[in-house]
Amino acid sequence: MKDASRSRTTPRLGSWAVPVLCVLLLVQILVTLGAGRRDDLSWFDPLIDVRAMVLEDHVGEPDVAKMQEAAISGMLETLDDPYTVWIPPRLESDFDKQMRGSYVGIGAEIEIVDDRLRIVSPLEDSPALEAGVRAGDVVLAIDDTDTLGLDSDACIALLMGVEGTPVRIAVRHADGTEAVLEVVRRRIETRSVKGIRRDGEGWDHVLDPGLGIGYVRLTQFTDRTIEEMREAIDAMDADGVKALVLDLRFNGGGTLDGAIDVADLFLERGVIVSVRDRQGDGRRWTATRDDDDHLLPMVILVNDGSASASEIVAGALQDNDRAKILGERTFGKGSVQEVRPLPDDQGTLKMTTARYYLPNGRNLDKRGDAEVWGVDPDPGFLIDLDTEAYRNLVLNRRRYEPIVASGDAEEARFDDPDWIDEELEDPQLAAAMRTLKSKLETDSWLVVGADPGAEAIASSELRDQVAYRTRLLEELAKTDGRILELDASAGEEIELRSPDGIVIGRIPATRLDGLVDLLPESDEAP
């Protein structure tokens, strides 16, 4: 008997079947993608309809650019994330300046004093310095535009421009002489690494030459920060520096790579930081042992203006027991932003894509009602200052920062903590000096402040809120005083009566002449 299964002929589809199946599969994929695409496009339908109706029939003339900016900004606001923002094309140059520390201009630090632009200092290797601009110069005019009453943004807009183009500035020097200087604009690379005072066009990074205590102030983290840090440390090595104050106060952050590089400079092992995205995926950076690692005793100064990349550095060195953190709790920004340019020059999106975590695994973000955020000072190193105290120390510090002629620099005793306390009015820097002196002389850290904790942080915030209320009340008092002045200047009021004697209104006596001019002429004597 034959085996039916063996004798059955196997049907063959021929060579055409595989291509047909591939085509059918491709059609299904396209249909699926098309449906998803239609869903994406339908999301825009109400926006398009509203825009069309407004452009066609609104009584006012719509500003299409503003409508677009508002639509994008409104969409991003729903994320409840202040760090995800769209930068329109008109603001990209300012954003680029902040992110990269690079811009085209004359190269000078400025301020507004008595409604006039004043030069705090020309920058090193800048066209302003080469043209003869000096610290303390009052800028009277920029290309024939009087600076009286202009704010700093308006002045900056006049000073910046196309690389290689000249700008004429009329200045009054500190000695009273006036001059018109022509400055040729060029690209300025601002430095993020500064010292305690100027040394010619450069910086002096030594606080105490005898004990060998150095000082570096980082204003932000850029792609060039690590090179500038290495230059400063090489100079301090040549001067015999054995301990370091790293000042991160008011440093709002910058690039993640810059923070990792700086932290790695003072670590030979250990985790620096890790980042995780929405799905919990991410990566971790660890320190590498290098010949240029500097393992000297360190104090890092921080305050509530120290954020993001500053907190990465402070937290990494604190968690790895490489530095004492002195000052007050930091700002609390533990999110990572990516900068993505939009196609066709439609602006730039700065978007939060992940959160970063300290070596101890804690995220720094200050969110909701969280009681713990940021980086706290070490126990015994909490020294909290109010807004007025910070204003004074910044103003006093600036006396030693301008580039001035040889012999014109102010005398200073940065090796004396008492002098720093009294003259600079900087108790945090003075405390850092005292504890580093103790560490170098006795190998023990001197307790110089209070212990951080929920009660201390709450007390600090309460004091800040009281100070804020005081400033508001002072402004309100000024406004009330001005109202009284205007009311008093109005003088006596005149009653206006109808022919039957009914009071129909009152006007200030100062406006009586104007009212008489409006009355019809009469032949009757008054």
Structure tokens at 286: 């660890």
Q: Is 319 in the active site?
A: yes
- Can you point out the beta strands (E) in 269-420? 271-276, 282-286, 298-302, 324-327, 335-341, 348-357
Comparing CA positions, the residue from 243, 240, 249 lying closest to residue 266 is: 243
Is residue 333 annotated as part of the catalytic site, yes or no?
yes
DSSP-assigned letters across all residues of 26-58? HHHHHHHHHHHHHHHHHTTHHHHHHHHHHHHH-
Residue 249: which of 61, 391, 446, 111 has the closest Cα? 391
**Neighbouring residues of 249: CB distance < 8 A, sequence distance ≥ 6:** 301, 302, 303, 305, 306, 327, 428
Catalytic residue among 324, 333, 437, 439: 333
What is the C-alpha to C-alpha distance for residues 243 and 239, in angstroms, rounded to an integer?
A: 12
Catalytic residue among 319, 376, 378, 384: 319
* Nearest partner of 377 among 322, 430, 433, 450, judged by Cα: 450
Report d(CA 518, CA 509) in Å as an integer. Answer: 15
Core vs surface per residue 259-288: b (16+ CB within 10 A) or e: bbbbbbbbbeebbbbbbbeeeeeeeebebe
Contact yes or no for 464/386 (Cβ under 8 A): yes
Structure tokens at 295: 């393992």
Among candidate residues 394, 198, 418, the one with its CA nearest the CA of residue 303:
394
Which residue among the candidates 121, 274, 308, 335 is catalytic per the annotation?
Answer: 308
Is 281 a catalytic site residue? no
CA–CA gap between residue 49 and residue 79 (Å, rounded):
24
| Beta-strand pair 243-247/213-218 | parallel
Distance (Å, whole) CA 156 – CA 283: 41
How many helical (H) and strand (E) elements, i.e. helices and strands, does the chain have? 15, 23
Q: What angle do CA 139, 141, 144 make, to 5 degrees?
A: 160
The radius of gyration of the chain from alpha carbons, rounded to an integer in Å, stands at: 33
Between β-strands 243-247 and 298-302, what pairing exists: parallel, antiparallel or unpaired?
parallel
List, by residue number, the catalytic residues. 308, 319, 333
